[in-house]
Amino acid sequence: MNVILVTLILCTFSQGVITANNLPIVINTWAFIDAANEAWKVVHQPHKTALDALVEGCSTCERLQCDGTVGYGGSPDEHGETTLDAMIMDGATMNIGAVAALRNIKHAIRVARHVLENTQHTLLVGDQASQFAQMMGFQKETLSTPASKEIWKKWWTDGCQPNFWVNVKPDPRASCGPYKPEPNYRPLSLERENEKFGFGSKNHDTIGMIVIDSSGHIYAGTSTNGANHKIPGRVGDSPVPGAGAFADNEFGAAAATGDGDVMMRFLPSFVAVENLRAGQDPTTAAQNALKRILKHHAKFMGGLIVVNRLGEFGAACTGIDKFPFSVAFGNQTKAKIEYIDC
C-alpha cells in the first residue's frame, strides 16, 4: 500500500491546546465515561496519586463490564472461560506491573498494581498469577456469568465459528476440533478480516487509560478480557509494555485498542511515544505509529490515544466508522466523549 492511501484511511482528532490548565488530564479509549469520571474525581483528592486515579478508573470499567470487553463475564475462550489481562506503567521509574491470562480473580488492574508495588517482576501469568493474587488478599471466584455461558454455547452450536486456528485438521472453518497440525506448514497472508473475528466498535477488548497529575507524573494502564473465543492461553497486546500502553514522564504516553494479536507485533504505544520524543505532536505521533501496522495489515482495526507531557492530546484510528475516547483536563468538572471519524 502506498503512503498516500494509508494516510487517507487514518482518522485524526485535533490535538488539545497546550495551556497552563491542561494538567491534570485523564484520557481513555472508547466511550467509557464512567471510568474517566472516576479517575478524574480521584486525581483531585488530597493524598491521592495518578496511580490511584488510573486504578480506580480501570476498576470501574471492570466492575461495569464495559461493553462486555473489560472485566468478568465477557469474551469466553474456546472452553467457555473468561480470563483477564491488565497492565500499569509508571512514567517516572519506567516500572511495570502486569498480569495475563488471570483466572478466577475479578480485579485484574488491582492485581497488576501489586505486581508493580510488591515484586521486582513485570508480568505474571495464568494460575500462578491467580495464586499471587490470593497471597495479596484477593478472593478466588468464577469469572463466568449466564451471559458469557450463553455466548459460548451459541458459538459451539454454530460449529465454533469463527476461531483462530490455521494449518490444522480437521478444517477449523467447519469443525470444533480437537485439532492436529497439518503435516506441511503453509505460510498464510498477514491479512485478516476484522469482520471474521468480530473486531469492531463492540469487540475492541480493551480500556486503555492515561493519567497525568498536576505535577506531571504520568501513569498508563490497560484492562481487558481479551478476544472473544480465543484459544485458551492466548495473551493479547494489553499487558505487553509498548503494545497496550507506554508512559515516559519526559515525553508523554500512549494507549492502544483493537486487534491485539496484530498490535503486539508492532508496539504502537511505544512507537507513538518515541514519535513524541522525535518532536511530533500527539496526533501525528499516533498516525505514524498506525502507518507501520497498515503497511502489512491494510484491514487492521485499532486506535491510539496519545498525550504529551504538557497535556496536549490527540488520536488516530483505522478500520471502524468512529473511534470515541473519553477525556477530562485542566479546569473541567467532568469528562466528555470525543469522536473521530474513520
Q: Catalytic positions, please?
A: 206
Amino acid at 105: I
| Number of Cβ within a 10 Å radius of residue 332 | 14
Amino acid at 244: G
Tell me the CB-side half-sphere exposure of residue 211, using CA atoms within 13 A.
30
The residues pairing with 123 across neighbouring beta strands, listed in sequence order, are 98
Which grid cell sits at 174? 467447519
Backbone φ/ψ region at 76: left (φ over 0), alpha (ψ -120 to 50), beta? beta
Which grid cell sits at 328? 477530562
Angle CA 156–160–162, to nearest 5: 135
With CA atoms as reference, report the closest residue to 308 among 268, 248, 266. Answer: 248
